[in-house]
């Protein structure tokens, strides 16, 4: 649910009120850094203080005005990752870490030897060098900023690592010890503690990442006061093309140019701002550096300036060199995407709110009546007793197990909401037990933090405390969560956290968490910890046997390990989506159809709407529009084998499910800025239709050596061109890449559970060389047996010289499947074959009936019965 309004307040206004959120000019640490950095105070490295280990080096850096050294550490990490940490050597108090006479210069080399870190002493600078070319420089602009912790001004004269104004007026203006916004005063008992650092990316003009913003895929240049903000907030009705932060934050960006992809992972959970500035090649010459200088070339440069309110500087440099390498490097640090249960890839139906059991029953029946498959029914906050989570409204949902049994009979699931705020009510057992054990976030005076959210006055569970997470996980046990069953899964919402009457509708920064850490230190990771606890709770309730499904609205780096999030597929969080139909407003029938068609090709497929909208179940817009929506949803179910195989690849190999074109075509400059189409895996290109009454769309088909096939008409085009594709409301342009094999289901059931044993088909699209390749993954779709007992099938399909081969891609896996391949469609076969024969593993050969269409160059093989898990070959002669 995307709302930060009190329940009693109307949410008719669809636009965000930006006055209740800060822009950069209202953020004190931003003002301080911008003002004080203008004085050009520089740091130098004391390289005579260097101590080295097997893969690391430690040395001091010092800023002249302060004369207090900082400790810098550079580490080489497996997989061509460098890590730079800068902290106070002897701080007054611990600073939160989010995880984990000069000699002139210092050189650290990676294990391969082709990557080096050059540390320059005065001024302090780090250059990342690959094959004698500088690809990234750190602090080349002198924007290293580190506010060292201080004794409060009543006890001592204020000092910092910069030439800081000492008069009271300037201290208030810069928000050193307190900061005002609207009617809120943020008292900073630890004083100013912000950090900052600049990175210059040489030759790079295209940057991506740092979600979550309703902005373009490619990051844009910022100006003063226009930084990208990473600060998890409940922003109702947010606008597109805006750099304000919304629900989640991942402080990680990618830079790409011809021949190289880099990543920067800024590990910090406090409020963070990112400035970006690209300089054209003619305006900039690379810094020369000894013998390397002769090989340096003039090129463009993009400068990235990171600023965070607190913590330490802890940054990972992911050196690629390919996009795939960077994805693996990031996953090495933060984890890979959790393998979802199969049902999660089906269609989900949600609304704030389905009113009662009868409403749920009627909506469920509507899908069957109109022959539309779906897998999951969702219940928002109104299903609870007065917004008390883990309860049921006794009037609306008097028999939740009966309702779940109805869904179970159709092999469907239920998702219910569970937010982090707990209603202040001594008679509410969850509140009473949490209160008794001290499990709530505290205010700065030491009492339980209280704020207003959906239940009214609420306290907020401190998920940063391992004991709170352990206790919260236990609440999902069937014996504790009365009315829950094994088909009930969870939705964590409002976990930015949302506090209706708080500053920017979130928690005060000086609230206190476990370990006496202020909320400002870990704001962006609060929802991450609730997500972690919920996921663990669902695993525990099944005694470790069943995969969980948990959707979270707020997220941070690493959230992909626990399930689906609202973020970028590029950042190894692969469960991205938008609410089909839009959460706010009443879409016209044409727009709703187009939304379903686009949503069917996104990793997570859910219809959702706020309670003030008109009902918009798929069959409420007339027979013709119902047909079109049905077809879009059924196409999603047709492609489930491909989707599931992609998620397995994401799980084990860190490859994105949904990919920008440049990821698949990294050496084609034309793909770097494409925003209106994308790849699903390496085989399918999708171009949603986003304009009303469109009759034709321009589709860019990349790859000069590629051939692309329209998935509906089978017409084909060579790559490296833009083609005008006629469109009607029947479908959006989807193309299969030549050289690929896409597994499909040929029979659609009312849910994924009814399709377990239904037959498969293969869509074989031939390359210009007449070959194709694809993979297929299968397991039981719900348990961890694929992991613990290697119960899975991983098959490889290859087509070459007229022979389609099904072989084992991973011999460690074993899984018995009754499923057969009953249909094979070959696209791009230039002549009609004289015969087709299937050769089985036992040596037998069977003739295969076929139909060839010369006008479309397609060969259709039907009435096959080839076991999907067995070796076989189909010879086309």
Helix and strand element counts for the chain (H, E): 14, 49
309 and 193: one domain? yes
* Domain match, 228 and 325 both: yes
Q: Is residue 14 in a domain? A: no
271, 393: one domain: no
pLDDT score recorded for residue 170: 64
- CATH number of domain containing 468: 3.20.20.80
Mean pLDDT in residue range 346-359 = 97
Residue 8 lies in a domain: no
Lowest mean pLDDT among 209-223, 270-284, 636-650, 733-747: 270-284
Averaged pLDDT, 728-746: 98
**Is residue 1 predicted with pLDDT exceeding 60?**
no
174 shares a domain with 95: yes
Residue 754 in domain: yes
Percent of the chain at pLDDT > 90 equals 82
Answer yes or no: is pLDDT of 114 > 90: no
CA distance linking residue 422 with residue 513, whole number of Å: 16
Write out pLDDT tens, residues 769-780. 999 999 999 999
CA distance 372 to 804: 34
Average pLDDT over residues 779-808: 98
Domain edge (last residue) among 737, 766, 801: 737
Q: How many CB atoms lie within 10 A of CB 100?
A: 7
Task: Specify the pLDDT at position 707.
Answer: 98
What percentage of residues in the chain have a pLDDT greater than 70? 91
Within-domain flag for 17: no
Would you say residue 19 lies in a domain? no
pLDDT greater than 80 at residue 13: no
Return the pLDDT at 297: 46
| pLDDT for res 283 | 52
Does residue 566 surpass a pLDDT of 60?
no
For residue 322 the two structure tokens come to 């390919």
Cα distance between residue 396 and residue 411, in whole Å = 23
Q: What are phi and psi of 179, to 5 degrees?
A: -140, 130
For the chain, the average pLDDT equals 91
In this prediction, residue 153 carries a pLDDT of 79
Check residue 109 and give its pLDDT.
76
Q: Given this model, what pLDDT does residue 110 score? A: 67
Residue 42, pLDDT score: 84
> Residue 361 corresponds to which tokens in the numbers above?
């029953």
- Name the pLDDT band for 373 (thresholds 50, 70, 90): very high
> Which region among 120-134, 450-464, 721-735, 748-762 has the lowest average model confidence (pLDDT)?
120-134
429 is in which domain, residue-wise? 418-565
Calpha distance 555→567 (Å, rounded): 8
Do 282 and 184 share a structural domain?
A: yes
Q: What is the mean pLDDT of residues 106-133?
A: 86
Instruction: Answer whether residue 56 is part of any domain.
Output: yes
pLDDT of residue 107: 83
SS3 readout for 772-796: EEEEEEECCCCECHHHHCCCCEEEE
Q: How many Cβ atoms from other residues are within 10 Å of residue 692's Cβ?
A: 9
The pLDDT, as a whole number, for residue 105 is: 75
- Cα distances from 135 to residues 152, 308, 317, in angstroms, run 42, 24, 11
Same domain, 283 and 186: yes
Q: What is the mean pLDDT of residues 399-415?
A: 98
Residues 632, 674: one domain?
no
Considering the domain architecture, whether residues 65 and 195 belong to the same structural domain is answered as yes
* Section 388-392 average pLDDT: 98
Q: How high is the pLDDT of residue 64?
A: 75
Question: Concatenated DSSP letters for 627-671?
Answer: HHHHHHHHHHHHTHHHHHHHHHHHHHH---SEE-HHHH-TT-GGG
> What is this structure's pTM?
0.94
In the listed set 520, 538, 565, which residue is the last one of a domain according to the structure? 565
> Which of 81-95, 202-216, 400-414 has the highest mean predicted lDDT (pLDDT)?
400-414
Nearby residues of 619 by Cβ (< 8 Å), 6 or more positions away: 366, 369, 370, 372, 626
Clarify whether residues 682 and 718 are in a common domain: yes
Domain count along the chain: 5
* pLDDT score of 108: 78
> Please, which pLDDT band fits residue 65 given cuts at 50, 70 and 90?
confident
612: left (phi over 0), alpha (psi -120 to 50) or beta: alpha
Lowest mean pLDDT among 297-311, 768-782, 857-871: 297-311
**pLDDT-based confidence at 94, cuts 50/70/90?**
confident
Categorize the per-residue pLDDT at 727 as very low, low, confident or very high, splitting at 50, 70 and 90: very high
**Chain-centre distance for alpha carbon 380:** 23
C-alpha gyration radius of the chain: 28
What was the pLDDT predicted at 113? Answer: 60
CA dist., res. 372 & res. 370, Å (int): 6
Q: Are 629 and 596 in contact (CB under 8 A)?
A: yes
Q: Is residue 280 part of a domain?
A: yes
Same domain, 319 and 425: no
CATH number of the domain residue 311 falls in: 2.60.40.1760
Bridge pairing between strands 70-77 and 301-308: unpaired
Query: Would you say residue 565 has pLDDT above 80?
Result: no
**pLDDT score recorded for residue 789:** 97
Is residue 212 domain-resident? yes
Residue 4 pLDDT greater than 50, yes or no: no
Q: ω into residue 850 within 30 of 0, thus cis?
A: no
- Domain co-membership, 243 together with 115: yes
Q: Based on the domain organization, do 676 and 697 belong to the same domain?
A: yes
pLDDT at 98: 59
Q: CB neighbours of 92 closer than 8 A, spacing ≥ 6?
A: 149, 150, 151
Mean per-residue pLDDT, 515-528: 97
CATH number, domain at 838? 2.60.40.1180
């Amino acid at each position: 649910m995307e709302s930060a309004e009190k329940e009693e307040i109307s949410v008719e206004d669809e636009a965000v009120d930006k006055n209740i959120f800060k822009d950069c000019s209202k953020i004190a640490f931003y003002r301080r850094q911008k003002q004080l950095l203008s004085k050009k105070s520089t740091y130098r490295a004391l390289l005579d203080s260097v101590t080295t280990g097997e893969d690391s080096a430690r040395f001091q850096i010092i800023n002249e005005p302060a004369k207090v050294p900082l400790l810098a550490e550079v580490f080489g990490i497996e997989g061509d990752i460098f890590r730079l940490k800068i902290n106070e050597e002897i701080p007054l108090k611990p600073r939160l870490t989010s995880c984990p006479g000069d000699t002139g210069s210092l050189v650290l080399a990676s294990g391969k030897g082709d990557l080096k870190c050059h540390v320059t002493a005065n001024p302090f600078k780090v250059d990342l060098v690959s094959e004698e070319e500088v690809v990234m420089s750190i602090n080349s602009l002198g924007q290293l900023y580190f506010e060292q912790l201080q004794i409060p001004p009543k006890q001592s004269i204020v000092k910092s690592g910069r030439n800081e104004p000492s008069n009271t007026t300037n201290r208030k203006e810069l928000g050193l010890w307190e900061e005002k916004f609207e009617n809120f005063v943020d008292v900073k008992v630890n004083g100013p503690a912000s950090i900052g650092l600049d990175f210059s990316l040489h030759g790079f003009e295209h940057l991506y990442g740092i979600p979550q913003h309703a902005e373009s895929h490619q990051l844009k240049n910022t100006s003063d006061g226009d930084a990208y903000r990473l600060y998890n907030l409940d922003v109702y009705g947010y606008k597109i093309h805006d750099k304000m932060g919304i629900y989640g934050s991942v402080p990680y960006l990618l830079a790409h140019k011809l021949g190289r992809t880099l990543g920067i992972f800024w590990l910090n959970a406090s409020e963070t701002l990112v400035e970006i500035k690209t300089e054209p090649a003619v305006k900039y010459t690379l810094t020369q550096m000894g013998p390397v200088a002769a090989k340096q070339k003039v090129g463009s440069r993009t400068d990235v300036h990171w600023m965070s309110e607190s913590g330490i500087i802890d940054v990972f440099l992911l050196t690629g060199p390919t996009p795939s390498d960077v994805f693996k490097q990031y996953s090495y640090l933060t984890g890979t995407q959790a393998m979802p249960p199969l049902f999660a890839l089906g269609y989900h139906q949600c609304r704030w709110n389905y009113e009662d059991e009868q409403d749920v029953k009627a909506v469920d029946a509507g899908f069957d009546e109109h022959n539309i498959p779906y897998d999951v029914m969702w219940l928002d906050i109104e299903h609870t007793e007065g917004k008390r989570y883990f309860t049921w409204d006794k009037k609306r949902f008097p028999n939740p197990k009966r309702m779940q049994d109805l869904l179970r009979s159709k092999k469907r699931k239920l998702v219910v909401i569970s937010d982090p705020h707990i209603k202040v009510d001594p008679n509410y057992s969850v509140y009473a037990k949490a209160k008794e054990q001290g499990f709530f976030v505290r205010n700065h005076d030491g009492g339980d933090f209280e704020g207003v959210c959906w239940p009214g006055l609420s306290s907020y569970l401190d998920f940063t405390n391992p004991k709170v997470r352990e206790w919260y996980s236990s609440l999902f046990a069937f014996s504790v969560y009365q009315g829950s069953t094994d088909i009930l899964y969870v939705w964590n919402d409002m976990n930015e956290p949302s506090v209706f009457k708080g500053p920017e509708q979130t928690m005060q920064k000086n609230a206190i968490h476990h370990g006496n850490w202020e909320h400002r230190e870990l704001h962006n990771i609060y929802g991450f910890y609730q997500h972690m606890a919920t996921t663990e709770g669902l695993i525990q309730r099944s005694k470790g046997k069943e995969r969980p499904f948990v959707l979270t609205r707020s997220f941070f780096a690493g959230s992909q390990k626990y399930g689906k999030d609202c973020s970028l597929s590029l950042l190894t969080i692969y469960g991205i989506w938008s609410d089909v139909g839009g959460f706010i407003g009443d879409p016209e029938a044409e727009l709703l159809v187009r939304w379903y068609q686009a949503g069917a090709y996104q990793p997570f497929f859910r219809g959702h709407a706020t309670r003030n909208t008109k009902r918009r179940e798929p069959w409420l817009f007339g027979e013709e529009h119902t047909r079109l929506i049905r077809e879009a949803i059924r196409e999603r179910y047709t492609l489930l084998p491909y989707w599931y195989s992609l998620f397995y690849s994401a799980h084990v190999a860190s490859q994105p499910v949904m990919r920008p074109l440049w990821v698949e075509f990294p050496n084609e400059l034309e793909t770097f800025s494409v925003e209106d189409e994308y790849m699903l895996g390496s085989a399918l290109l999708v171009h949603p239709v986003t304009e009303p009454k469109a009759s034709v769309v321009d589709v860019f088909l990349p790859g000069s050596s590629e051939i692309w096939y329209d998935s509906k008409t089978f017409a084909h085009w060579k790559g490296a061109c833009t083609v005008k594709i006629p469109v009607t409301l029947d479908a959006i342009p989807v193309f299969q890449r030549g050289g690929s094999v896409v597994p499909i289901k040929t029979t659609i059931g009312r849910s994924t559970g009814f399709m377990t044993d239904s037959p498969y088909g293969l869509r074989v699209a031939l390359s210009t060389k007449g070959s194709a390749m694809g993979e297929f993954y299968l397991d039981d779709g719900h348990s961890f047996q694929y992991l613990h007992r290697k119960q899975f099938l991983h098959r490889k399909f290859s087509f070459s010289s007229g022979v389609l081969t099904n072989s084992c891609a991973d011999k460690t896996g074993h899984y018995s499947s009754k499923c057969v391949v009953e249909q094979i469609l070959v696209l791009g076969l230039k002549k009609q074959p004289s015969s087709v024969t299937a050769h089985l593993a036992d040596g037998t050969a069977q003739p295969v009936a076929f139909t060839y269409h010369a006008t479309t160059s397609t060969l259709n093989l039907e009435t096959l019965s080839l076991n999907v898990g067995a070796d076989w070959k189909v010879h086309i002669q």
